[in-house]
Amino acid sequence: MAIKIVQNVNRIFPTVSVAATSNPISLKSGYIRVSTGLTSVYVEIGGDPVVTTNSFHVPPYQSEVFKERIARQKITGIQTGTSTVISIDNTVGNPFLIDDYVTIENAQPSGINTTHRLVTAITDSSLTITSNSSSIIGIITVSNASLSRSVKVASLSDATTSLSISEVVQLVSE
């Protein structure tokens, strides 16, 4: 079986009993592959993951692939304020949930783009996120803007180690 890398994520370095967390991952395929070397690790994936020794265990020299729910939608409008309201096409439904984290990409001006913001409210055609955009003035262009669910990977280990993270697509061999 072959694996195609969709995007590489920063490598994280948990130390003895101190967790490390990745940068936000704006999901494309939803398949997160983690790999460890000499030392085993515990792994949690989510919007604001908290990893413990009761989390999923990855043994030394192993890779695991986790499936995350993807949600991606074209943005039709953005209303600025102390919270930001994002309008989406209501003919396809709202794939986001309260407590998801989302990332805005390709909106103009660039200051309206956000990374890994909490969804606090939803309707069929909009969602509210914890992003204070009240300082953004002028016309907001959303013709190529998209909104995607984002997650982070948290890792904990009994020794200093590293955890490599990639988002992948598994391809069946021919």
Q: Are 134 and 163 contained in the same domain? A: no
Q: What is the mean pLDDT of residues 152-172?
A: 88
Total tally of structural domains belonging to the chain: 2
81, 144: one domain:
yes
CATH number for 100:
2.40.30.180
Do residues 114 and 159 both lie within one domain? Answer: no
Distance CA 55, CA 99 (A): 20
Same domain, 51 and 97: no
pLDDT tens by residue, 134-158: 999 888 999 999 999 999 999 999 8
**For the chain, what's the residue count?**
174
Whether residue 156 is found in the same domain as residue 144: no
77 and 145 in a common domain: yes
85, 52 in Cβ contact below 8 A? no
Q: Which domain holds residue 92?
A: 72-150
pLDDT tens profile 45-67: 999 999 999 999 999 999 999 99
Q: How many angstroms separate the CA atoms of 70 and 75, rounded?
A: 16
pLDDT band at 173; cut points 50, 70, 90: low
Sign of the torsion formed by the C-alpha atoms of 163, 166, 172 and 174: negative
Residue 36's pLDDT is 93
